[in-house]
Every structure is written in C-alpha cells, then in structure tokens.
C-alpha cells in the first residue's frame, strides 16, 4: 500500500461493496417491505440510529475496564451480560461479542475477511478502510506491515493475533492502558481511547506531558 494519512490504511471514499451484493440487498429489502416485516419508517429510524452511533461508547467501556478489574474480568469472561449490567445495553438480539485484552505479550487486531462484520451497536459504522479488500486480505498475511502503515509498531517479541469477525461473533479490543495515567478517573481516560485502538490497529493515546 502507498503512504496513508494518520488513522487509516487507505480511504479513497469508496464503499467496497460488489454490485451483486447491492442488488441482493435491494431485492431482499424490497421483499421484506412488501411482506410487512418492517416499514420504510422503521428502516429510516434504524439507519438513523446506526449512523448516530460513535466509538464513544466503546471508549467508555474500555475506560471502565481500566479502572475496575472486576468489570474487566466479567467483560473478558462474557461480554454481553457485563455490558447489559454495566451500561444498560440491550444486546439480546445482536450477535455475540468477545472482548480481547491487549497485554505486554499479545496484541490483537480485528478484521472481517468476508465483508465488514463489526460491533456497530457499540462502535457505530466501520471506517471505509476496514471494509476494503486490501485491509481484509493484507492484515491476515502481514499484520506487522499493515500496523506499521498506521504508525503502530509492535515489538518482535510481542505476538500479534488477528481475529476474524463473523455474522455470529464480533470483537472489540481493550488496548493497553497508557503509562502515566495512574489515578485517572473514567472520564479522563475516555479521551485516550480511539476508534482505531478499539480495532487494534493503533495504541491508545499517550497522555499529554505535564508542563513544568
């Protein structure tokens, strides 16, 4: 890949969806509307609700996990009940979600090799580069090179695990907590968690240096 702007592999403004997939979606949508499974207004509201979601909720979840070890352990063991209890989220009819904790030994990266499966109910709409064929194919084969293009360099002794989201299972990364944030509360920590760190292509932001 060529040089890229900070925070993305390549974002050329094109949604990498095959024409046949668009035709299939349109046909299925028309059939469901015709049969009254949902209405145009239902569809409009759902599209608007999905578009309004941002990675802020994911950042708040991570900040809570950083300061509350019990919550973090419950997230890693079974994310849905932990999120339902800790953030009052209704995830009953959504795909399963697994939280992946980055450590000094292991760094996780999320992709979807088939399409663009993504925890939209928590992170909103995925970035265009996440859906591109280039990212989906290359990150599996050469993850260190792809991460380097994001400006993320992983020490050779740290294992990189690439996980593949599916229609039935979505993933979100809990990045390493930045050094120098001891004693910070959740609200302050939220600002350090970026969308890219929740996917695993970047680290959480380091805190701003304290003026002398």
Beta bridge mates, 100: 173
Given the residues 2, 21, 111, 115, select the one marked as catalytic.
115
Classify 92 as helix, strand or coil: coil
Q: Identify which of 94, 96, 95, 97 has the alpha carbon closest to the alpha carbon of residue 58.
A: 97
Whole-number Å distance between alpha carbons of 211 and 191: 19
Given the residues 111, 117, 132, 197, select the one marked as catalytic.
117
| Structural tokens at position 72 | 């973090």
Please, how many CA atoms are within 13 Å of residue 174, restricted to the half-sphere of its CB?
25
Given the residues 2, 21, 112, 137, select the one marked as catalytic.
112
Classify 132 as helix, strand or coil: coil
* 111 tagged catalytic: no
Whole-number Å distance between alpha carbons of 96 and 164: 13
Classify 116 as helix, strand or coil: coil
Given the residues 21, 111, 116, 165, select the one marked as catalytic.
116
Cα Rg of the chain, angstroms: 18
Phi and psi angles of residue 195, each rounded to the nearest 5 degrees, phi first: -55, -45
Report, as residue numbers or ranges, the catalytic residues: 112, 115-117
């Amino acid at each position: 890949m060529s040089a890229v702007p900070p925070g993305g592999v390549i974002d050329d403004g094109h949604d990498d969806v095959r024409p046949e997939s668009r035709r299939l979606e349109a046909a299925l949508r028309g059939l469901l509307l015709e049969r009254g499974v949902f209405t145009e207004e239902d569809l409009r509201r759902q599209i608007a609700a999905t578009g309004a979601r941002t990675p802020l909720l994911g950042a708040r979840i991570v900040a809570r996990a950083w300061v509350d070890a019990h919550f973090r352990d419950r997230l890693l063991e079974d994310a849905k009940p932990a999120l339902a209890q800790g953030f009052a989220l209704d995830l009953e009819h959504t795909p399963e979600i697994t939280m992946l904790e980055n450590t000094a030994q292991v760094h996780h990266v999320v992709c979807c090799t088939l399409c663009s499966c993504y925890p939209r109910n928590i992170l909103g709409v995925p970035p265009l580069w996440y859906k591109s064929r280039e990212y989906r194919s290359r990150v599996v084969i050469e993850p260190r090179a792809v991460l380097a293009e994001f400006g993320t360099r992983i020490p050779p002794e740290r294992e990189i695990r690439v996980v593949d989201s599916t229609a039935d299972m979505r993933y979100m990364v809990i990045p390493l907590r930045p050094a120098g944030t001891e004693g910070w509360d959740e609200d302050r920590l939220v600002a350090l968690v970026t969308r890219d760190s929740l996917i695993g292509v970047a680290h959480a932001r380091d805190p701003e240096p304290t003026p002398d």
